[in-house]
Every structure is written in C-alpha cells, then in structure tokens.
Amino acid sequence: MSPYPILVVTAVNAEAEAFRESLDPEKIVVEAVGVGPAAAAAGTARLLTSRPYRAVISAGIAGGFPGRADIGGLVIATRSIAADLGAESPGGFLPVEELGFGSSVLEADPVLVKALRDALPTAVPGDVLTLATVTGTAATTDRLATRFPQAVAEAMEGYGVAVAAEGAGVPFAELRAISNPVGPRDRAAWRLADAFAALRTAAPALNTLP
C-alpha cells in the first residue's frame, strides 16, 4: 500500500464533518473546497500540490435520478460528466466534444471504483453529472435523463475535482449520498438527514481502501 493518504474533497464543511468523525486521519484526509466546479477544481489542485496523495475522491450529497438512485442511498461514479459544458443551438444542446474543444467526460479510476464498490456493495454505480446550475424543472430532468441514460445522480463538483486529479496524475473517484430526487425544486422534500447518515455510514469503509 502507498504510504500516502487518500484525499476526500467535499463542497461544504458539513459534508466533511460527516466523514471526519469515522476516518483514520493517517489514511484519509478530508477537506472542504467550496461549491461548484470551478471552486472544486481550484481547491483540489491546490491541495494536490501541498503534499502527495495516492488518490482523490469527490464526495458529498447529490440529487438522484428517479428510478435510478434511492433517497438516502449511495452512488459511485463510473464517469464524472460536465453536463452543461457546451453550447445551445436551434437543434438542441451541443456538448463541448462537438465543438472541438476537449471532453466533458472523465472516467473514474477503475481500480478505485472497484475498491469502493467492494467496500460499499449497496452503492449504485453509474454516471454522475456535474452542473453549475442544478436541475429544478421536470423538463430539464427529462432532457438530462434522455441525454445520459446511465446517469444516476447530479452534483456540482465532481468534474472539477476530476480535472484537477487528471492534471496531477492522481486516481480519481466520486462518491455521493442522495438527498433528493432530480426534478422540480422542493427544498421541503429534501431528506438531508438521511443523506448525511449515509455519508457517516460509508465513511469507515474508506479506511479499508488500498
């Protein structure tokens, strides 16, 4: 096993604290870097230059696509996708690949994904979308679900963390707990307590990662 710890990056301190209480600080370092893909990329890049890490995991709460991920459950990204990186057109959304400006899809490290799935066997694997503006209407939910049939959740940081990890040559993965369904915004229906409980339950499993 590498002598270096794994870096777990969250958006906000509440997510970080849900992990810290059950993690071995010699094996896992948890830091909150801010909300959104830009803050996530910048914060993760800064942390990855401060000391060596053997891997980085973007973690926290997320919205789950109905029928694909349950509220209070966990999902593990096989890919992190910048779903709104591209351009509008009369014919529909054009991803950045079609514009010739790079890729909106970053693969999670398969070895790290397998280790997470072995440690958390009830977690659902699939694509996790990164959006700077989270979904709040049924129409947008339907468009995203159609464009990304393997998407299980959406959040705001994974792709940014993945970009920083790729730039540093460090394996990347994304782990999310589902607090609400993707769709029309209804904050009263969010089950944040269940999502944070799922993060706390998942945390000890991270200590076992190779």
Averaged over 154-183, what is the pLDDT?
97
pLDDT at 1 over 70: no
**C-alpha distances in angstroms, 137 versus 81, 94, 97, 182?**
20, 20, 26, 8
Digit-coded pLDDT (tens) for 114-166: 999 999 999 999 999 999 999 999 999 999 999 999 999 999 999 999 999 99
List residues bridging with 132 in a β-sheet: none
Domains and CATH numbers, the chain: 6-204 (3.40.50.1580)
Contacts of 151 (CB under 8 A, 6+ apart): 65, 68, 81, 83, 126, 127, 128, 129, 144, 145
Strand positions, DSSP E, 26-109: 28-32, 55-64, 74-82, 86-87, 94-95, 105-107
pLDDT bracket for residue 167 (50, 70, 90): very high
Averaged over 19-34, what is the pLDDT?
91
pLDDT bracket for residue 88 (50, 70, 90): confident
pLDDT at 100: 85
Provide the CA 157 distance to its chain's centre, in angstroms.
6
pLDDT at 7: 97
Report the distance separating Cα 147 and Cα 141, nearest Å: 10
Contacts of 100 (CB under 8 A, 6+ apart): none
pLDDT bracket for residue 181 (50, 70, 90): very high
Provide the CA 74 distance to its chain's centre, in angstroms.
11
Q: Minimum mean pLDDT among 80-89, 92-101, 119-128, 193-202: which range?
A: 92-101
**C-alpha distances in angstroms, 203 versus 25, 134, 158?**
12, 26, 18
Share of the chain above pLDDT 90, in %: 80
Averaged over 186-203, what is the pLDDT?
90
H or E, element range at 152: strand 151-155
Best CA proximity match to 87, nearest among 68, 100, 69: 100
pLDDT at 125: 98
Contact between 129 and 123 (Cβ < 8 Å): no
Q: Is 100 left (phi over 0), alpha (psi -120 to 50) or beta?
A: left
pLDDT at 25: 86
pLDDT at 2 over 80: no
Q: At 78, list the tokens.
A: 């096989």
